[in-house]
A and B are shown apart, each in its own frame.
Chain A
Amino acid sequence: MAGELYDYLIALIITGVIFASAVIVVPNVSYVNLLYVDQQQLRNVALETLKAMLLDTGYPLNWNSSNIQRFGLAYAGSSSYYVLDPDKVQQLNRENKLSYVDYDTTRRLLNLRDYGFSLSIIPTFNVTISERLFKLPDISLTVKVSRHDGRPLANAAVHTTFLYSIKEENPQKGENPEVFLNSTVAPTNFTDPLGTCEVSGTLDNPPTGFKIKDVIAVLKVTVADIATVVAVYQSVQNPEGIIDTGSVGDDLYVWIPLTEEEKRSQPQEADWVCNVAAYYGPGDIEVVYSGGTQDTDKFNWGQASPYKNWTRPIPGLKSSDPALLIYVISCVPKVEEKTLTNAPSSTLEGTWSNPAYAYASDNRYGTTATDGATQQYGNYGFSIPPESTINKVEVGFEAYTDGDENIGITCSWDGGTTWAKEYTSKTLPTSDPNTLTWSSFNSPGGWTVDKLSDAKFRIQVKGVKTGGQMSTIYLDWIPVRVRYVPPGGGGRRPVLVAGPSPSRMGFRVLNYGGTPRGTTARIQRNVIISGMTYIAEMILWKESL
């Protein structure tokens, strides 16, 4: 009897263990089905969330980061679906210093505590500029239009408007120079089967006494009348992080981030907004603000502020809903400095032995054992855009000596008539250092691209004796390094910036939210912002399992 009881007990335990194991194992056996269930749940949540985001106006109707109670991007003034309010979308842009609704707040308002999401708003197709040439007054651009999977879009219409700032060269004493914004519409071009087309145009000559200072090309590209707008800048490749712009309601905002040095040194040089134009379409441009001067429209900065800003209300701006705003800002554009290091390709006058061996660092040497013997090098072949600003010209040498000699170096910018102050090295090493020693040279009135032309620029090296006996000097390489800023950089001028920027900045290409992980659900919808179609894409995932 007792044996039976134990049998039953053990059997019960074993059955229980097997049953419990089955409960754990069976769901894993049907893992694929569970994955479907999981994805279905995610997609349902994603669908509902995206619907809430795109179809709801939120509360209050024109919410901002300080008063938002319910999240929604729909435009309150539209009776149609999927029309978004540009002001609300801009508040998802991290660069918007005025009002930014952070990701955690949005998650909380959308009741997505257990989920993460990302929201992207992108144009319906890509427009890239593969080549751009601003040789004023002529401008030439190569445009490529493609789908998001890279396939080219043929027969896309490219409507180009060139906007340019012109500035009075010699204003009357005590008066501010006048700055105008002008525009020229280029003929419409169509992309070929490879999705590319050339856009070119010539700007109108400015009035006497005025000069063109900066240009921006605004391209409205349409595929079957679905449009996207792209701006191409002369001064900077991409203004992101250099100048940020935005608008909320009828108010315009411009921010210029300060460098660490600028933050420390007060007062700073004043920048100001000269003009603002609204772009509605090719040739349809309205100047909404003009006549700004250093006195009236200067950027303001606070003691601990990381940027300086300018703001101005433009009545009726929001209701007119321009596709783009073009700002003319008097500033010194921060353009990246470029460096060119070239070697000579001709030996001019001189008495050194095998001077051509100094064309490259190849352990073959031009030599001299004569005190005061000189050798000239030329044809450095610098290809620097005209009107570039030359910041620095340096000559490098890789040389050694058998004894304790020095080498003297100088350069000329007028074909050998005038020479810079000669640099004399320290005692040269006694074996090939295989490194360059650089020395910079100045030219009266500053360096220009013309002074660096092959016809005018040349280097001269000289053997310099130290002590009583002259040993041999070996010169392996004599390159020249030029640091320059291409046209568009350097100097205060009225610079053009488009905003909310149509390329990689502002809401035109918005990336908001977290980083997807694990199983995700991806939902897309077409939306309309300022009369143009964009794709809103949401990715949703579970934050905690």
Chain B
Amino acid sequence: MRIIEAILASFIIFFAVAFINTFAVTPSSPTYETSEVEKIGHNVLHDLDDQRLLARFVYNKEWENLTAALMVCLPPDVYFNLTVYKFKVDGSEGKLVVVNDNAPIYYGNPEVFETSSSVASVTYILPGYQANYDSRILILQLVRG
């Protein structure tokens, strides 16, 4: 009788442990992916900035060149969508205005950025170009295709 009780008790312990394990917090791949893709995105923007290409593309509105540069610098399986903002003072209020609203800078299906659960976002600020202070804020969205 006690043997049966012990076996039953053991099964209860076993299932309890298995049940609790399902709630165990383990790092999920999408979370990690977002952080890694963010790093890649920041690295690429930094690299382009370091070569003095990024500011030239942005301030001269060379959007095609900027798209091509991001395409070759980012891994082939990473889709991107870049939006360039500038700060505009309107009366007493300041607001962000999209600079490239007529020329979207993206690679891959734009819907991916709305449907994917792991979109990484990188913010990069350009303070100015050729000694003129005129900042631009770059929001680079990235997702693995």
Contact = CB atoms under 8 A, between A and B. Distances in A.
Interface of A: 4, 7-8, 10-12, 14-15, 18-19, 21-22, 26, 29-30, 33-34, 36-37, 39-40, 43, 47, 80-83, 124-125, 147-149, 151, 153, 155, 223-226, 523-528, 531, 533, 535
Interface stretch (B61-69, B92-100, B110-118, B136-144): B61-69
B76 A147 contact: yes
A224 B18 contact: no
Interface string B73-94: 1011100000000000000000
Nearest to B71: A147
A30 B6 contact: no
B26 to A, nearest CB: 4
A244 B127 CA distance: 45
A37 B26 CA distance: 7
Contact of A14 (B6, B24, B43, B67): B6
Given A151-B76, A525-B40, A30 B21 contact: yes
Interface string B1-42: 111011101110110011001101011110010001001100
A148 B27 CA distance: 30
A83 to B, nearest CB: 7
B51 interface: yes
A81 B53 contact: no
B21 A29 contact: yes
B72 interface: yes
B122 interface: no
Given A15-B9, A149-B76, A224-B65, A523 B36 contact: yes
B53 A80 contact: no
Given A11-B6, A37-B26, A526-B44, 17 more contacts: A11-B2, A12-B6, A15-B10, A18-B11, A26-B18, A26-B21, A30-B21, A36-B26, A82-B43, A82-B46, A147-B76, A149-B76, A153-B72, A524-B75, A526-B73, A533-B47, A533-B73
Contacts of A29: 18, 21
Contacts, number: 125
Interface of B: 1-3, 5-7, 9-11, 13-14, 17-18, 21-22, 24, 26-29, 32, 36, 39-40, 43-44, 46-47, 50-51, 53, 57, 62, 64-69, 71-73, 75-77
7 contacts: A4-B2, A14-B10, A26-B21, A37-B26, A147-B71, A224-B57, A526-B43
Nearest to B68: A224
Contacts of A531: 51
B26 A39 contact: no
Contact of A82 (B21, B26, B50): B50
Contacts of A21: 14
Given A18-B10, A124-B73, A225 B53 contact: yes
B7 A18 contact: yes
Contacts of A526: 43-44, 47, 73
B50 to A, nearest CB: 5
Given A30-B24, A37-B26, A224 B10 contact: no
Contact of A528 (B13, B22, B27, B51): B51
Nearest to A225: B53
A9 B69 CA distance: 73
Contacts of B65: 224-225
Nearest to A12: B6
Nearest to B22: A30
Contacts of A535: 73
B3 A10 contact: yes
A55 B69 CA distance: 23
